[in-house]
């Protein structure tokens, strides 16, 4: 396993943080923050697990009406409440659907920070099962991160293993990372 300090750029940059704060404050003011946070997690999971949804959100050719229509249908189909449905509508109206995943990550990071937790961004080649999640929590606690909230993403480019980013610290146990380190070592030996 390799641990490196990497500057964190644009993960939840200014735009995503402003939208995330707006949704968090709105849900908090209306008194349904736990429900909205659950919906945010579910939508974030749906985005990370669906290639089609990620492609739809990233499509820059989509006009505002099409984005609003499809996002409204999606929010209704997934059974999300009025607050998140209207929020995603505003995101679509402002042509920010490509930033939706970062905004949702920002909401979860804000909630974790306010509860005194750190956010661990976990990227794995395959989705984690419950046993792997609990083992990772134990390992992170051993490394000094006892209050950790995890966001999970699948990335087939890792080939196997995972990367875990906490702030500017990156733990890399992926096969792709090992191959890169091996290739760099071989360059140095030549």
What is the pLDDT, as a whole number, of residue 13? 58
CA-based R_g, the chain, Å: 18
Contact assessment for residue 1 and residue 173, using Cβ atoms and an 8 Å cutoff? yes
Contact assessment for residue 154 and residue 127, using Cβ atoms and an 8 Å cutoff? yes
For the chain, the three-class secondary structure string (H helix, E strand, C coil) is: CEEEECCCCCCCCHHHHHHHHHHHHHHHHCCCHHHHHHHHHHHHHHHHHCHHHHHHHHCCCCCHHHHHHHHHHHHHHCCCCHHHHHHHHHHHHCCCHHHHHHHHHHHHHHHHHHCCCEEEEEEECCCCCHHHHHHHHHHHHHCCCCCEEEEEEECHHHCCCEEEEECCEEEECCHHHHHHHHHHHHHHHC
What is the pLDDT, as a whole number, of residue 64? 79
What is the pLDDT, as a whole number, of residue 105? 87
What is the pLDDT, as a whole number, of residue 109? 84
d(CA 53, CA 149): 24
Contact assessment for residue 92 and residue 99, using Cβ atoms and an 8 Å cutoff? no
Question: What does the block give as tokens for 41?
Answer: 């997690």
Q: What is the pTM of this model?
A: 0.65
* Partners of 41 in the β-ladder: none
From the first residue on, what is the mean pLDDT of each consecutive set of 10 residues in the chain (190 residues)? 40 77 92 92 87 82 80 84 90 88 89 84 90 91 85 87 89 90 83
Residues 6+ apart with CB under 8 A from 162: 122, 123, 124, 125, 128, 136, 173, 174
What is the pLDDT, as a whole number, of residue 144? 85
Question: What does the block give as tokens for 31?
Answer: 């008194």
What is the pLDDT, as a whole number, of residue 131? 94
């Amino acid at each position: 396993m390799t641990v490196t300090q990497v500057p964190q750029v644009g993960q939840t940059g200014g735009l995503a943080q402003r939208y995330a704060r707006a949704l968090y404050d709105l849900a908090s003011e209306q008194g349904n923050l736990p429900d909205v946070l659950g919906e945010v997690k579910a939508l974030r999971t749906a985005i990370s697990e669906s290639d089609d949804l990620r492609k739809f959100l990233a499509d820059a050719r989509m006009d505002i009406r099409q984005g609003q229509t499809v996002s409204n249908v999606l929010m209704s189909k997934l059974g999300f409440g009025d607050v998140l449905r209207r929020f995603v509508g505003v995101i679509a109206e402002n042509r920010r659907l490509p930033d939706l995943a970062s905004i949702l990550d920002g909401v979860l990071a804000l909630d974790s920070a306010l509860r005194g937790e750190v956010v661990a961004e976990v990227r794995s080649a395959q989705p984690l099962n419950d046993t792997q999640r609990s083992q990772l929590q134990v390992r992170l606690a051993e490394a000094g991160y006892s209050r950790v909230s995890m966001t999970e993403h699948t990335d087939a480019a890792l080939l196997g293993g995972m990367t875990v980013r906490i702030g500017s610290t990156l733990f890399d146990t992926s096969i792709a990372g090992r191959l890169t380190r091996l290739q760099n070592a071989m360059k140095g030996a030549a």
